[in-house]
Structure 1
């Protein structure tokens, strides 16, 4: 077995691993993250060979990365590398797993931006939107705040995705806006293919505005039009400043939607399904602060109920 241990440079092994297991197997945005990790690995350990890789040398890489990144980002970096090293051990290229019991560090977190609005601030924002009789980007903001759709999912909406009889939207695709020539693409995962219930008033408003449009074309823009996430976020930020409420992103509207549902007592399972999360764990991790707050309220209710049992 000792003759099999690899002497290849670590960053080159990782690049080969990406080509073998990830190219044409994951979405481009995910693949880009792997290549970004590979470039950072080459910067941090340009001369480290696989046969020199052990728990100490691997920990040194993580520590160097952690000097300029928060703990959560370092953990993500670690997870990307760990997957490749598991395979290296299985293939006999490494004697043991160097990632075992790795310690994740990180620099002090930066001031966190507001991720979601409370009900009052959301209502203030929605009242500032220009919701006239023609579709515009303000309607786009309004729709996401009412449905919790991802940015790319909302961009991909076509007239045939609206089921007016059942008051629902069929989410089965997203829009690749990051390329110069945008196009439809699959949703983030299979769980993202879902049906989202919408209130009758919103459906009635959209029924009028999309009447006569190409049933298979995006409703908010022309197919040959380049869409920039940053431009629309700036537009939303302007509305927030004018309304004197915390500035949030379009993704923040999705967070706001989910947060308000949780505060209203909607189950985590139902919120996860509505957002298109793969499982409730993702939802719980994303909104743990809200869930804990609700648990404290539930505990107060439980204690109050028990005190009545006399």
Structure 2
């Protein structure tokens, strides 16, 4: 039975349980009324009888989430996703401190997610909540908590159109493409990576992980089947999702570029005694895979040199590729497959603002056709 007692002006409950043959106690105080303490104790007793209690019951929200990330995410998802989860773990630690996960109430979590919404677009808020929600559900399955404090949370966020400016228009695409074609070589391998991403829509991890056996020069295709750990340089890793494994058709510009790199690479490595044991395509003249920071610096420098005001990141090349295809009436099904999305709903959600523009064009075209009958 639970013990209820008064401590100062508030009430506290104490519930005893056994774990691995040892007796433990879980307590909680601060209740203004004895009845509140009794009701809370009844819930704990019910949990003890149904699924048991554990010393993990007192684990902090931040510690549980970080441990969950290490167990279920690190080494199992892309580097970019790993960084996002670790950043979220840090944000949770900063906001909630060492507060036990069992003491997190829906109001507490609502305030946290509102804070996220003040500085991020709604899509980011939805993704953040989804990540935390998965961990909370596992905490329930683990018997650490028994209520989901993410239920019915109100998701806000900036109304700014996502990726509205994170892509180049057609005129700037042509400028960037021509610059890369004219200047790319193994000595400036980051330019080659930029051109490849611009014309394929690949993520940086996929570009860094491309190997020569994945290129079919005859049929003009590349197989995207892995990524590369360009941060810790631990080798190859799986793609972001299963649907990210795909085959992409490439144009003559990329075929010519890849052939040029292969010849230069063989000559340079032979001369300097380097061995490309992993058969990586985009290796620098120092026999290294460029970092994402390095390739972003190159992109920023080139955009400034070309007097392109829209300073996009390397990931913006992926959005540029998709946005260009959408503007040219390429089907959303094909674009989704080319980008490696699981289904068209993901593509539609990301590029909804562009699709709305296209729908308006189609609407006007339809009305005009009907008027001409």
Question: What range describes the TM-score normalised by the shorter chain of this pair?
Answer: 0.7 to 0.9
Cross-structure match for 2:366: 302
Bigger radius of gyration among the two: 2
2:221 and 2:90 mapped to 1: Cα distance? Answer: 44
Number of equivalences = 308
Alignment partner of 2:171 out of 112, 120, 124: 120
1:282 and 1:26 mapped to 2: Cα distance? Answer: 18
Cross-structure match for 1:57: 108
Contact 1:194 1:274 (8 Å CA) reproduced:
yes
Q: Which one scores higher on RCO, CA 8 angstroms, separation ≥ 6?
A: 1
Contact 1:7 1:49 (8 Å CA) reproduced:
yes
1:112 and 1:201 mapped to 2: Cα distance? Answer: 27
Q: Which runs of 5+ in 1 are unaligned?
A: none
2:296 and 2:184 mapped to 1: Cα distance? Answer: 23
Alignment partner of 2:281 out of 219, 237, 258: 219
Displacement after TM superposition at 1:177 (Å): 0.6
Further displaced range: 35-44 or 87-96: 87-96
Cross-structure match for 1:248: 312
Cross-structure match for 2:323: 259
Q: Which runs of 5+ in 2 are unaligned?
A: 1-45, 267-275
The Cα RMSD (Å) is 3.1
Displacement after TM superposition at 1:294 (Å): 0.5
Further displaced range: 151-160 or 8-17: 8-17
* Aligned 1:17-166 pairs, distance under 5 A: 17-22=68-73, 25-27=76-78, 29-46=80-97, 48-66=99-117, 71-106=122-157, 114-129=165-180, 131=182, 134-135=185-186, 136-137=188-189, 138-166=191-219
CA pair 108-290 structure 1, distance change in 2 beyond 3 A: closer
Alignment partner of 1:284 out of 312, 323, 348: 348
Cross-structure match for 1:206: 258
Displacement after TM superposition at 1:32 (Å): 4.2
Displacement after TM superposition at 1:158 (Å): 2.7
The one-character-per-residue Cα deviations of 1:164-201 (angstroms, maximum 9, x if unpaired) are 2211112222221111x352222222222211111235
Secondary structure (helix, strand or coil) at the match of 2:182 reads coil
